[in-house]
A = this chain, B = another copy of it.
Amino acid sequence: MTVSRLRVGVIGYGYWGPNLVRNFQELEDAEVVSVCDIRRERREHFEKQYPGLTISEDWQELVRSPAVDAVVVATPVSTHYQIAREALQQGKDVFVEKPLALGADKAGALIELSQRRQRTLMVGHTFLYHGAVRKIRELMDQGELGEPLYLDSTRANLGILQDDINVIWDLAPHDLSIMDFLLRRPPLSVSATGASHTGRGLEDVAFITLHFPDHVIAHVNVNWLSPVKIRRLLVGGTDKMVVFDDNEPSEKVKVYDRGVACSDSPDKRHNELIQYRAGDIFVPQLDLTEALLNEARDFVASIREGRQPLANAESGLRIVKLLELACLSLSRDGAPVEVN
């Protein structure tokens, strides 16, 4: 006996929606049965691409349709809460693009609703499903890097300036969710600086610092106004260090057997106290499966198996909280804000 396919409805067919449709369509045990978008030109584009599928204008109709088991939300951030809430209320399992909602209170309310309705609620922290990030976490879990010292992430591009959110809400969910995944612990404090150049009051360049226990520091540089695309994460450990450069077509993760060690002996001179190490570099072969396919598969499997997905709503809430605190610090010109 074969399991019937999960029937997926996708709301929003703009920049990211087509990738979601294509990947859910790749899955054996799921099928996209319905798509909707309020823009006529996007619907026409969809119809040309997928002559056999239907697309509508009305998302409320989609979330109410009994022919839909699960709803994927790929609309502007400010609409996430309303659509996800309605879908959960209609008894659907729900996948929401990142960030989960525009505020921790709303994210929390969605979680509460999903628990009450016993539905899966997942957030699109795609990088948790990326072969590079999986490999780095594997190395950290194996103790290869030693103790973490710092994380430094830059995400810059001549990006599409969002209408409803600043660059932190738009880009930093990627970096913060990766850091949350790798460090497995919350920061102690957050500070952020930035600037807005478009007269709209929405920052287009911003810098976030997070302090974690044990002197671990993390930094996020997000920029909508960069002429070049930069997607680079440095992870410094006491034993090894990692660079993840997502611009590299093939050698995305490099593990450097490099570091600095300090002797504690107070009676030694500087040169004797500090030892440098410059060793080999290792470029591990990564799982090259498209992250989004892994993500779609985990959504479907988590529903089938009645378990939490990796990118569960709780991680979505943690990231939304950090985004809020970063913006609070931003409004105070970088003064640090404590977490909890």
Contact = CB atoms under 8 A, between A and B. Distances in A.
A336 interface: yes
A163 interface: yes
Given A52-B53, A163-B270, A199-B262, A150 B25 contact: no
Interface centre among A227, A229, A236, A282 (most CB of B within 10 A): A227
Interface in A23-80: 25-26, 28, 31, 48-53
Contact of A221 (B163, B219, B229): B219
Interface in A221-240: 221, 223-229, 234, 236, 238
Nearest to A195: B217
A195 to B, nearest CB: 4
Majority SS at the chain A contact face:
strand
A144 to B, nearest CB: 13
A146 to B, nearest CB: 11
A333 B334 CA distance: 9
A260 B161 contact: yes
B225 A149 contact: yes
B53 A260 contact: no
A278 interface: yes
A46 B194 CA distance: 48
Contact of A334 (B258, B262, B336): B336
Nearest to A283: B281
Number of copies of chain A assembled together: 4
Contacts of A194: 217
A285 B277 CA distance: 11
A264 interface: yes
A150 B242 CA distance: 28
A211 interface: yes
A158 B278 contact: yes
A329 to B, nearest CB: 8
Given A51-B31, A200-B262, A258-B158, A195 B215 contact: yes
A260 B198 contact: yes
B191 A150 contact: no
B51 A26 contact: no
A299 interface: no
Given A193-B209, A264-B199, A334-B334, A283 B282 contact: yes
A223 to B, nearest CB: 7
25 contacts: A150-B223, A152-B223, A163-B270, A193-B209, A193-B219, A195-B211, A198-B274, A199-B264, A207-B209, A207-B219, A211-B333, A223-B234, A225-B236, A226-B236, A227-B241, A227-B242, A227-B243, A227-B256, A228-B250, A249-B249, A254-B283, A278-B285, A281-B283, A282-B283, A333-B336
Name the 3 nearest CB pairs between A and B, nearest first: A52-B52, A227-B256, A281-B283
Given A149-B195, A228-B250, 17 more contacts: A50-B52, A150-B197, A150-B225, A160-B276, A189-B333, A191-B193, A198-B262, A199-B264, A205-B219, A207-B209, A226-B241, A227-B258, A228-B234, A228-B243, A228-B254, A280-B282, A334-B336
